[in-house]
Structure 1
Amino acid sequence: MPDQRVASVLEDPAMREAITTVFERSDDGSESLQWRDVSDTLSSEEWGRLIRDGLLVSDGAGFSVANPDRVGEILRQTESAEATAEANDIDVEPWAWYDKAAGLATLFLFAGYWNTGIRDMIASFDDLLLAPVTDALPFFAVVIVLSVVTGLYSTMLQARLQDTETMRAYQERITELKERKEAAKERGDDDVVEDIQAEQMEAVGDQLGMFKLQFRPMVWIMLLTIPVFLWLRWKVRGGHLGPNETGLVVPIAGAVGWQEPLLGPMTTWIVWYFLCSMVARQIIQKALDIQLSHSPSN
């Protein structure tokens, strides 16, 4: 059967699906088949059409694929093209104006780590909002309350804004390209390997979009978390704690001041805040049954 005829017949999706089934069950066209061998998938009309169109030829014992090498090559090329088209359908939603505004505001808040004026302005405003809490609770308990609050909205924001479907589609695409490349190498199909390498290079270009996708929820989380951290820093290092708020009693280390190093160079108040935040987020995720992972499913 001429190559052009094979390619023309396989342009029909129904015929391509039918011959794909036959090709797989005949061990890549090396074995003869009867219709009963594929009757659970192909109708008798489809089987007959494959014979009429010359993709199947009688070999005495049954029917075999005509020109199996060419048919296999076309099927692999079609699979590669379909995978590329499907991958290109992964569309990363651009940031809205309010996402960009949140990003600019976050950059301004970041400046508070180095600029005393910005830090004092933000912390003083936070101090007014938190006055009822600081008046009612000791500082270590205030940190726990803030950790729970920040952990709650961080978890909810990430669950709400993280596009897990797009991330999963992108990761599945990367995995699928890797598997196809390994299979092509095992077959010794250098042309297909080159095509897949080109697709992998295109996928690398999509990483910027994936980075923006991942970074979007982080912008909103930082927009609300940075002011809390700046207030804690202002409270401890600025001398705004009460006279009895000297520090914590921790296992092994004993009594340590809030500004004393506790874990390497990290001071007690930072370690306490991050420990409370980590525990709070884990508990909240378990309690609300929120899954933030976007690992590809098996």
Structure 2
Amino acid sequence: MELRTIQAKKDFNYKTFFLQWEWLLILIFILVNILNANLSPYYMNVDNLRDATMGFLDKAFIVLPMVLVMILGEIDISVASTVALSSVIMADLYSHGVPMGLAILISLLVGTVCGLINGFLIVKFKELSSVIITLATMIIYRGIAYMLLEDQAKGQFPDWFSFFGWEYVGGIPFILIVFIVFAVVFGLLLHKTTFGRRIYAMGNNMTASRFSGIQVDKIKIIVFALTGLMAAVTAIFLTSRMGSTRPNVATGYELDVIAMVVLGGISTAGGKGRMIGAIIAVFLVGMLSYGLGLVNVPAQVLLIIIGLLLIFAVVIPKLKIKKLRKV
């Protein structure tokens, strides 16, 4: 009788390893830095590069849970409105005498509740797509923010609150340290836990996952709650950096976040992608924006460049699949 050997792991292949999307992102990131260094003599200043992270890392907190959402095959376009509502409620509570520490905690709770509502509606009304549901909640959350403050701004926070957005710990921006911690946590959650493996399984085949015993509804609600929570974290850092808030803060953040996630190699169909790709994309887009801003390149040009990169990110994997099918 012939013996058959089944390999539990594939042999390491250098060609496959270095053809991964993340390596191409690193190459683009290097090219962006070379371009920026040639455009402006001030770009390669270490202090400037360090401080530049303060300008784009606030929205990066939402990128982390959005990776989970999109691997599920879903999307959340209400995140910017959740940021606005969390920020406005925090400022409004403080202006009415609530201690700032408690106002921050309530802001985090508000963001989480917004995410829970999204998740509950998505699992309750399965016939509706997450785009439609989060579009509705996007309008509702932003509307509530306008009801609370109308078109006014609120600020005058305690001096210590500016620490979140502007201060350093050991010469490193506090916001960068916090982002690294959250990035490690979300990376481990996605790639090293049963919860993460179930997210991938659901993104590849939701029906099969349901019949295999995975609690798909519960996982969806948790993922959307995490997204709401991280939107509230963004609200805290953004409000701290601005020193005040208005109902229209974070407008357009949802598009920036989704662009970073897609550029990071996360499949829009679900089931594919890695956290590291999205993290690289955050710094790629952030540094590109910072470098072009130094030479006063119009924001419209930056949008065109990011749009071209997104097309590139979507087309290249499909070309690879077609090539493999021909072989």
TM-score normalised by L of structure 2: 0.26
RCO (CA 8 Å, sep 6+): is it higher in 1 or 2? 2
Larger radius of gyration: 1
TM-score normalised by L of structure 1: 0.28
